[in-house]
Structure 1
């Protein structure tokens, strides 16, 4: 029986209209680097400073420290502008799925490749709050860990915060390969969802335990059903 369900944010529970992709591509291209679509998809879901560093190098620009930090500041500015013009919304069925799981006594955590300064205003805009009367039990961002995905640290931090001790009683769902890789490396049940840019075939290399159409389908999994 699952005791803790961990979900990615953008592309998994939140529809940000692909604006994270646009902001990440834009801030890297402004450094003079080219960004291949395959590389962009590979690095989505990771810590954004790490992603910028990798994409600059792949695009032919040496990622010197100050240049990376400047590009990250530009990423946050672009994303804020994009979100102001087209606010993110919950993906269909995501909020009710989280409520259903919570009603079964399953703790809910969100993890993200964003830092605190991006993640919490985004959640506030959706009205998603923490606590007994909120939708979420905890949120773990890249601010909270030494390394983001594909390292499993955010999942394990969510376990620590919610009191979950057995990785076999934890599920983690996300729309990118690094979401699945982090889950597999963390020893938890891994779920890929198709609400991002990947197909079921794309997920095959990461070997998730399940591939679902969306996070809305997670409550239908056998492991999340009441005993």
Structure 2
């Protein structure tokens, strides 16, 4: 009996359309690393591989644990992404809002999670008109640690009062979403094919199910 569903945002319920990479290009450019250079290409590969991870953690890795540089790059990333959102480059995955409402109609509580900061997350939610849509929204700083740690899912379980970890379903488009769900002990860990990672990566990371879209989630839970 699923009582709480934890949904990722970018790539799962929110269309990415390359916004993360655009914002990354601006952020890393501010560190003097030019697009097209060998180092830039290596960094971009890491960003793609770690989609879903807390962004500050990604920048710490890329910049050799230079905390000041990582914080500066992360702030530049969040600013660039927020600007893109404000300019209208932000749309929901088709059917995502209806899916959330359908789940809630069956008495299931929904939490939207992200690897972005709370400020950026709220800008996305405002741009989509989703202010009162989800029962809970969480970013890494509110939960303790970001993906691939289980904190976001466990915080949602506690705040939304699920009876057990097995009564929680997690859905996301990245291997990190899958790892988070598995580590948290979620009853269902569903990958969706509308974002960063494909079927093989999602299955390798532990997905219990792989769906074409988040729109297919209510049907899975009703079986």
- Segments of 5+ residues of structure 2 without an aligned counterpart are 34-38
- Equivalent position of 2:50 in the other structure: 43
Q: Is the 8 A contact 1:28 1:55 kept in 2?
A: no
The 3-state SS of whatever aligns with 1:34 is: helix
1:87-166 alignment runs, 5 A limit: 87-130=89-132, 135-166=133-164
Q: 1:171 aligns with which of 163, 169, 177?
A: 169
Which 10-residue stretch deviates more, 194-203 or 102-111? 194-203
Q: Is the 8 A contact 1:27 1:75 kept in 2?
A: yes
- Segments of 5+ residues of structure 1 without an aligned counterpart are 57-61
The 3-state SS of whatever aligns with 1:125 is: helix
Q: Is the 8 A contact 2:88 2:127 kept in 1?
A: no
Equivalent residue pairs, number: 215
Equivalent-residue separation in structure 1 for 2:177 and 2:21 (angstroms): 16
The 3-state SS of whatever aligns with 1:148 is: coil
- Equivalent position of 2:59 in the other structure: 52
- Does the alignment pair 1:201 with 2:200? yes
- Supply the RMSD in Å over aligned alpha carbons: 1.6
Equivalent-residue separation in structure 1 for 2:197 and 2:50 (angstroms): 13
Runs of 4 or more, structure 1, over 4 Å off, are none
Q: Is the 8 A contact 2:171 2:177 kept in 1?
A: yes
- Cα offset for 1:29? 4.5
Equivalent-residue separation in structure 1 for 2:24 and 2:50 (angstroms): 10
CA shift digits 1:112-171 (9 cap, x unpaired): 1011111012101111123xxxx2110111120221000010011111111113111110
CA shift digits 1:19-41 (9 cap, x unpaired): 02221243134423424343122
CA shift digits 1:54-91 (9 cap, x unpaired): 233xxxxx341211111111112211222233431111
- Equivalent position of 1:225 in the other structure: 222
- Does the alignment pair 1:10 with 2:4? no
The 3-state SS of whatever aligns with 1:149 is: coil
Equivalent-residue separation in structure 1 for 2:82 and 2:127 (angstroms): 12
Q: Is the 8 A contact 1:195 1:213 kept in 2?
A: yes
Taking structure 1 as the reference length, the TM-score comes to: 0.89
Equivalent-residue separation in structure 2 for 1:44 and 1:55 (angstroms): 14
Equivalent-residue separation in structure 1 for 2:166 and 2:75 (angstroms): 38
Equivalent-residue separation in structure 2 for 1:125 and 1:162 (angstroms): 25
The 3-state SS of whatever aligns with 2:71 is: helix
Equivalent-residue separation in structure 2 for 1:23 and 1:65 (angstroms): 19
